[in-house]
Amino acid sequence: MGGIFPSWVWCLVLGFPRLEPWCPCVVASTSRPASQPRFIQHKQEAFWFYRFLSIVYDHVINPGHWTEDMRDDALEPADLSDRNMIVVDVGGGTGFTTLGIVKHVDAKNVTILDQSPHQLAKAKQKEPLKECKIIEGDAENLPFKTDYADRYVSAGSIEYWPDPQRGIKEAYRVLKLGGKACLIGPVYPTFWLSRFFADVWMLFPKEEEYIEWFEKAGFKDVQLKRIGPKWYRGVRRHGLIMGCSVTGVKPASGDSPLQLGPIEEDVRKPVNPLVFLRRFILGVLASAYYVLVPIYMWIKDQVVPKGQPI
């Protein structure tokens, strides 16, 4: 974990072992960009995080981090060109991204998957999504058969995955030959304070890590497109929640050629409630910073003359 303190300090404080290449507790899949999970980068912690965030998600979070213009711009590389396509929206949450998908694909051909029943309850209330299949599930262990879908879409979900490489490997598996995956997520910030809170909160991958994960999974023609709200003026050093849209094409039928070890997080294992509560509270506090960032940048956009950097 980055930031002000080295990762071994966080591990001692929070009660987690530090994972190093020489440590016997390292699993076979070592694809994470950092050795220590962030405070909300666990399935169980993310579940409770969204238990409360789902109440205000569409009205408070989306306006600052995931607008309709950004969504449509990010989905453009997915090439949703046929209303009869089979599409899976993984980590679909309240269905905000799905609303962009059903502009191009019949809702009856779209499946929304998320681990949060509270987020999915919001999706079920949206009229354009009434014909979508809505199911609970895990992005790292999808309940779809191999070679199932024409398109795989996931927006704002990878930052919670304990093992992003495994999730992208699953994206490859469920796609048909020639199918395309479109993964939309945050990008690691460069400003020191934003980096600190990113490391505390959840996974903010670097652009090159997205590309590496796709290529290792077996995808071809991997492309990355930067996205952000118009008022951000291209400034990326603070790190927006939605920072890029990455696409790749499946070149062969069947499972991904990549072999991975055991799943990193077993949700069936008991969790120390004090450690859980401590991490959860710290993660929520860190998330408050990223609620303030778009407000700060919007004010700067209004104050600083156009044409000047902000």
Complete domains list, the chain, with CATH: 7-17+28-249 (3.40.50.150)
Sequence-ordered alpha helix ranges (H) in the chain: 7-14, 43-53, 62-65, 68-75, 96-101, 117-124, 164-174, 192-201, 207-217, 273-303
- Whether pTM > 0.85 for this model: the answer is no
pLDDT of residue 290: 80
10 Å CB burial of residue 262 (0-12, 13-18, 19+) is exposed
pLDDT of residue 50: 54
Dist. CA 134–CA 114, nearest whole Å: 8
pLDDT of residue 75: 97
Q: Which of 73, 63, 49, 55 is nearest to 297 (CA)?
A: 63
What tens-digit pLDDT sequence spans the chain (310 residues)? 333 333 333 333 333 333 333 232 333 333 444 445 565 556 666 555 555 554 555 555 556 567 888 999 999 999 999 999 999 999 998 899 999 999 999 999 999 999 888 889 989 999 999 999 999 999 999 999 999 999 999 998 898 888 899 999 999 999 999 999 999 998 988 888 888 888 877 778 999 999 999 999 999 999 999 998 877 777 778 876 678 999 999 999 999 999 998 776 655 566 677 766 776 677 777 778 888 888 888 888 889 998 887 7
pLDDT of residue 286: 74
CA angle 31–37–41, rounded 5-degree value: 100
Max CA pair span of the chain:
56
